[in-house]
């Protein structure tokens, strides 16, 4: 993968840019507009910010740096809050009876951080360029974008989006900052490509904007003077790059940073330890839509045998994992998707923890330890596999080791292979795994995008494809589902697919995830989780 632009080039042009990232008096003097001390907080991230695009793909992004912070800089036409779609930059919307035309009435008087106007022309520009920028990943980020047929400007504050076919999850897609966050017209070059200004500039309508990088690689963000919403309490925030999670926890204790958010950025051990100290605040979100699970490559032996997969499903003690690794904060998962999600309240018979039954299943399937080395064999083949996972993400390594240990006790010869996240993604996409640890997508696009990406013809998520791989007409069913507009028909199709996915056992769900936040309680009174909990929403910080 190649970066779109060279950071060095951006550095040479940075001083000449006046759009979106100009330092103001808050940064220079430590005073706000009322000559009061600036209320600032310091946060941390695993990676530096290489750019501030709202369309992030493996082709244009070497890491997830900006993903969790987009909510501070950009906004979408509609938002997701408490399970409902609510107005965003669009104050209202309507959908034609055939599901082919979405009409958005836009808010008036909204400006981007560069001072330019938000209007129907800018929305049209963004929507037309998203599929182009997404490239081969168009549809993987939001299934609605490949369906764009025509974007019509009806008047300066009314936009019509015409689709080639209906899509029942379209509104949920429009809540996704990646790829549907609205950027200023100045974010695009004349040919429609992304401007190099986005390497160091945020160009949205959100509450904050970029004030530039520091020599140590950290970034400072200040209030957007043109923000149209409720003014947040925090005047500015800094983001330091701290890749190691233990170092993050130490930085919080030392006062170097003020808050850590994300289940991938703090271990549960550190969370519980910090939560026990009255100097700090600690909270867990409600379910964020994500499920921890392991996935089998059902085309690779020995996991092409459903009996082997069934044995694994009975071998894992999910209750113990949740209680010991996650301190009871996460709940055991019996289904791939939390049943509270849209269309997912489908009853299935859980595969209960029963190691003796697991052993019996393997014995009856012909897997025996014939030489007493603790590893089962069948027809000269060892019962062996490798668990691939993205390392250095919260408790993932401990979880993988726990899973591997349970399988070794069952007679598997298991290896663990932790890779950096982009290498892990590449390997899973190429099918180079026998077992991998993964998580489902987040709300509000789960289950919609997850189910859509189970279509093998899309070739965008080789993990999700495993779920209905046994169905000869699985791709056709998913394509038909995406075009349905009758809710009962959609629900019936979900019931069929979820039962089949459960029966096939390509996935073993482990737990329903939550997001964690810890903060300096002497400085921060509270943190309100965003409607999409993994987003670090600085406007949700309430100061002392």
Cβ(416)–Cβ(405) below 8 Å: no
* Cα–Cα separations (whole angstroms), residue 295 to 131, 291, 435: 29, 12, 6
Closest CA to 139 of 544, 482, 474: 482
Q: The CATH number of 7-241 is which of 3.30.460.80, 3.40.50.700, 3.40.190.10, 3.30.9.80?
A: 3.40.190.10
Element (H, E) at 312: helix 306-315
pLDDT tens-place string over residues 420-443 = 887 998 999 999 999 999 999 988
- Of the chain, the end-to-end C-alpha distance in Å amounts to 44
Burial readout 332-368 (b: 16 or more C-beta within 10 A, e: otherwise): bbbbbbbeebbbbebeeeebebeeeebbebbeebebe
Structure tokens at 216: 């140590």
Q: What is the 3-state secondary structure (H, E, C) of 385-449?
A: EEEEEECCCCCHHHHHHHHHHHHHHHCCEEEEEEECHHHHHHHHHCCCCCEEEEECCCCCCCCHH
138 burial type by CB count under 10 A (0-12 exposed, 13-18 middle, 19+ buried): buried
Note the pLDDT of residue 248.
95
* pTM as predicted: 0.85
Q: Which residues pair with 213 in a beta bridge?
A: 219
d(CA 456, CA 462): 8
Is the pLDDT reported for residue 124 higher than 80? yes
Cβ–Cβ < 8 Å for 369, 375: yes
The pLDDT tens digits of the residues spanning 313-364 come to: 999 999 999 999 999 999 999 999 999 999 999 999 999 999 999 999 999 9
Geometric angle at alpha carbon 264, from 259 and 268, rounded to 5°: 80
Q: Please, what's the b/e burial string for 266-289 (b: 16 or more CB within 10 A of its CB; e: otherwise)?
A: bbbebbeebbeeeebbbbbbebbb
Q: Which H or E run contains 391?
A: none
* C-alpha to C-alpha distance for 127 and 96, rounded to whole angstroms: 19
Going by pLDDT thresholds of 50, 70 and 90, the confidence category of residue 30 is low
Determine the Cα–Cα distance for residues 71 and 75; give it in Å rounded to an integer.
7
pLDDT tens per residue, range 477-522: 999 999 999 999 999 999 999 999 999 999 999 999 999 999 999 9
Domain layout of the chain by residue ranges: 7-241, 288-514
| Domain made up of 288-514: CATH architecture | Roll (3.10)
Distances (CA, A) of 49 to 191, 229, 239, 420, 525: 25, 25, 9, 17, 28
Q: By the 8 A CB rule, do 333 and 291 touch?
A: yes
Ordered DSSP codes for 96-143: -TTS-EEEEEEPSS-B-TTSPBP-HHHHHHHHHHHHHHHGGGTTTS-T
Beta carbons of 133 and 60 less than 8 angstroms apart: yes
pLDDT in tens, 181-190: 999 999 999 8
* Residue 339 to residue 281: CA distance in whole angstroms: 30
| pLDDT, tens digit, 9 for 90 and up, residues 222-266 | 999 999 999 999 999 999 999 888 999 999 999 999 999 988 889
Distance CA 68, CA 338 (A): 22
Q: Which two tokens stand for residue 292?
A: 């921890």
The pLDDT, as a whole number, for residue 393 is 67
- CA–CA distances in Å: residue 514 to residues 149, 286, 445, 534: 37, 6, 16, 9
Whether residue 228 contacts residue 222, with contact meaning beta carbons closer than 8 Å, is answered with no
Q: Token match 């000269």: residue? A: 380
Q: How confident is the model at residue 267 (pLDDT cuts 50, 70, 90)?
A: confident
pLDDT of residue 11: 26
C-alpha triplet 169, 174, 179: angle, nearest 5°: 115
Q: What is the C-alpha to C-alpha distance for residues 191 and 6, in angstroms, rounded to an integer?
A: 19
Grade residue 391 by pLDDT with cuts at 50, 70 and 90.
Answer: confident
CB 262 within 8 A of CB 515: yes
User: How high is the pLDDT of residue 33?
Assistant: 58
With bands split at pLDDT 50, 70 and 90, how would you rate the model's confidence at 10? Answer: very low
At residue 64 the predicted structure's pLDDT band, cuts being 50, 70 and 90, is: low
Of 53-67, 436-450, 459-473, minimum mean pLDDT range:
53-67
Helix axes 306-315, 396-410, angle to 10 degrees: 110
CB 322 within 8 A of CB 332: yes
Specify the pLDDT at position 464.
97
- Say whether 11 sits in a helix, a strand or coil: helix
Mean pLDDT of 68-95: 95
Whether pLDDT at 5 is above 60: no
What six digits make up the tokens of 281?
Answer: 């605040």
Instruction: Check residue 65 and give its pLDDT.
Output: 67
Matching residue, tokens 């209750």 = 319
pLDDT at position 77 over 90: yes
Average pLDDT, the chain: 90
């Amino acid at each position: 993968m190649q970066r779109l632009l060279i950071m060095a080039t951006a550095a040479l042009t940075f001083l000449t840019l006046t759009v979106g990232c100009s330092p103001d008096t808050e940064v220079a003097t430590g005073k706000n507009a009322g000559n009061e001390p600036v209320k600032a907080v310091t946060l941390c991230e695993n990676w530096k910010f290489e750019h501030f695009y709202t369309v992030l793909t493996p082709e244009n992004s070497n890491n997830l740096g900006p993903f969790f912070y987009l909510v501070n800089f950009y906004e979408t036409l509609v938002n997701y809050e408490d399970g409902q779609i609510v107005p965003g930059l669009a104050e209202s919307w309507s959908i034609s009876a055939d599901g082919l035309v979405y009409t958005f009435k836009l808010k008036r008087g909204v400006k981007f951080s560069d001072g330019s106007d938000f209007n129907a022309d800018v929305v049209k520009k963004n929507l037309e360029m998203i599929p182009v920028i997404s490239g081969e990943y168009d549809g993987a980020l939001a299934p609605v974008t490949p369906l764009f047929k025509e974007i019509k400007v009806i008047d300066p504050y009314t936009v019509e989006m015409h689709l080639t076919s209906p899509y029942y999850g379209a509104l949920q897609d429009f809540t996704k900052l990646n790829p549907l966050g609205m950027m200023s017209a100045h974010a695009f070059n004349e040919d429609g490509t992304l401007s190099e200004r986005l390497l160091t500039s945020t160009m949205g309508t959100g509450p904050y904007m970029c004030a530039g990088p520091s020599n140590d690689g950290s970034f400072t963000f200040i209030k957007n003077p043109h923000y149209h919403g409720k003014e947040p309490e925090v005047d500015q925030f800094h983001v330091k790059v701290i890749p190691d999670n233990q170092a993050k926890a130490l930085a919080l204790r030392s006062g170097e940073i003020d808050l850590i958010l994300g289940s991938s950025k703090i271990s549960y051990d550190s969370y519980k330890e910090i939560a026990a100290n009255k100097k700090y605040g600690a909270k867990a979100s409600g379910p964020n839509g994500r499920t921890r699970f392991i996935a089998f490559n059902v085309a690779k032996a020995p996991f092409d045998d459903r009996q082997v997969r069934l044995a694994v499903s009975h071998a894992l003690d999910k209750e113990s994992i949740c209680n010991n690794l996650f301190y009871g904060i996460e709940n055991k998962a019996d289904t791939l998707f939390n049943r509270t999600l849209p269309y997912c309240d489908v009853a299935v018979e859980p595969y209960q923890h029963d190691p003796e039954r697991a052993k019996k299943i393997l014995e009856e399937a012909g897997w025996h330890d014939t030489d007493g080395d603790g590893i089962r064999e069948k027809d000269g083949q060892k019962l062996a596999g490798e668990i691939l996972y993205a390392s250095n993400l919260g408790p993932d390594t401990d979880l993988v080791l726990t899973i591997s240990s349970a399988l070794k006790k069952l007679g598997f010869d298991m290896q663990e292979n932790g890779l950096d996240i982009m290498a892990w993604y590449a390997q899973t996409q190429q099918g180079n795994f026998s077992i991998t640890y993964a998580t489902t997508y987040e709300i509000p696009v789960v289950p919609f995008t997850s189910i859509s990406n189970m279509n093998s013809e899309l070739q965008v998520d080789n993990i999700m494809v495993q779920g209905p791989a046994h169905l000869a007409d699985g791709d056709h069913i998913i394509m038909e589902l995406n075009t349905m507009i009758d809710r009962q028909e959609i629900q019936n199709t979900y019931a069929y697919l979820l039962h089949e996915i459960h029966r096939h056992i390509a996935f073993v769900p482990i737990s329903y995830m939550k997001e964690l936040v810890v903060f300096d309680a002497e400085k921060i009174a509270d943190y309100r989780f965003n409607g999409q909990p993994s987003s670090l929403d600085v406007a949700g910080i309430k100061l002392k």
